[in-house]
Amino acid sequence: MHVNLRVLILILQVYKSQTDFFRSVDFQFVGDTSLWKNTSDTTSNLIEFVTAPNNPDGKLNKAVLQGPNAKPIYDHAYYWPHFTPIPAPADEDLMIFTFSKLTGHAGSRFGWALIKDKDVYETMSNYMSLNVDGVSRDTQLRAFKLLKVVTRGRGREIFEFGYKTMKDRWEKLNRALLMSRRFSVQESSPQYCTFSGKVKRPSPGDFSFSSRIKTF
Ligand SMILES: Cc1ncc(COP(=O)(O)O)c(C=O)c1O
């Protein structure tokens, strides 16, 4: 089976580095998905990483490639209501999440996937256990402690605090860049957020309020 991995430009360079690292005869990294949108090649299987929201522009991308040979993996690292309006509950076939931008604990290396296809789930689960032999107990303990904080106040407090923090920072950045003739930040459109029940704009500034979260 020959699988090509494609991603949208601007996203994680690490997708390329990881794919290249394996130097596999079965798959290769082939770059920007939009270049393959109208391809006449019907023999290759395609995996498309879709960052939604994208880092750093906050855009809720959608898969570009369609058809029976294309399968998207949705990277929802930033799909949290302090960053982005949540237009609908996440419901893709394969979605990956991380603590990285939920609480700002990137270094904890704790993430999870929601996978609808049982065979894909088993392959991924098998790969995970061969690759890292399970998540370390220390990381699990830390993740549980963080989850306790996240679920406080029916799971709303952290997002309200996070949204306010991010919005303030984003506005500060905007004000500072208004004085510049050379730099500006991208326009972002407001959208209805089903989580907060409000129309909101994304606040895609850096997210590092972990020092404010008391876990121990
Ligand atoms: C879009 C996106 N996905 C995934 C990650 C990485 O997450 P983790 O810290 O769990 O490796 C990042 C980190 O910057 C990111 O921006």
pLDDT in tens, the chain (216 residues): 445 544 444 456 778 888 888 888 888 888 888 888 877 777 888 999 999 998 878 889 999 998 889 999 999 999 999 999 999 999 999 999 998 889 888 888 899 999 999 999 999 999 888 888 888 999 999 999 999 999 998 889 999 999 999 889 888 888 888 898 888 777 788 999 999 999 998 886 544 433 333 333
What is the predicted pLDDT for the residue at 12?
66
What is the predicted pLDDT for the residue at 206?
45
* Ligand 1 center–CA 20 separation, angstroms: 18
What is the predicted pLDDT for the residue at 53?
93
For the CA of 11, the nearest atom of ligand 1: 1
Instruction: Report which protein residue has its CA nearest ligand 1's atom 13.
Output: 100
193 CB less than 6 Å from ligand 1? no
Both tokens of 6, joined, read 């494609």
* Neighbouring-strand partners of residue 45: 3
Q: Which helix (H) or strand (E) holds 20?
A: helix 13-22
Q: What long-range pairs does 36-42 form, CB within 8 A, spacing at least 24?
A: 36/4, 36/6, 36/65, 37/64, 37/65, 42/69
DSSP 78: T
* Ligand 1 center–CA 77 separation, angstroms: 6
Q: Exposed, middle or buried by CB within 10 Å (0-12, 13-18, 19+), for 56?
A: middle
Residue carrying structure tokens 């996440």: 90
Query: What's the longest Cα–Cα distance across the chain?
Result: 56
* Ligand 1 center–CA 40 separation, angstroms: 32
> The whole model's pTM is what?
0.84
Both tokens of 58, joined, read 């906050």
What is the predicted pLDDT for the residue at 15?
81
State the pairing for strand pair 27-32/3-7: parallel
Contact 95, 106 (CB under 8 A): no
* Ligand 1 center–CA 25 separation, angstroms: 26
Instruction: Report which protein residue has its CA nearest ligand 1's atom 12.
Output: 77
Q: Three-class SS string for 126-183?
A: HHHHHHHCCCCHHHHHHHHHHHHHHCHHHHCHHHHHHHHHHHHHHHHHHHHHHCCCCC
For the CA of 109, the nearest atom of ligand 1: 10
* Residue of 59, 73, 97, 98 to test ligand 1 pocket, by largest number of atoms within 8 Å of CB: 98
What is the predicted pLDDT for the residue at 210?
36
- CB proximity list for 100: less than 8 A, separation 6 or greater: 77, 106, 111
Residue carrying structure tokens 């997002």: 159
C-alpha angle 85-90-94 in degrees, rounded to nearest 5: 140
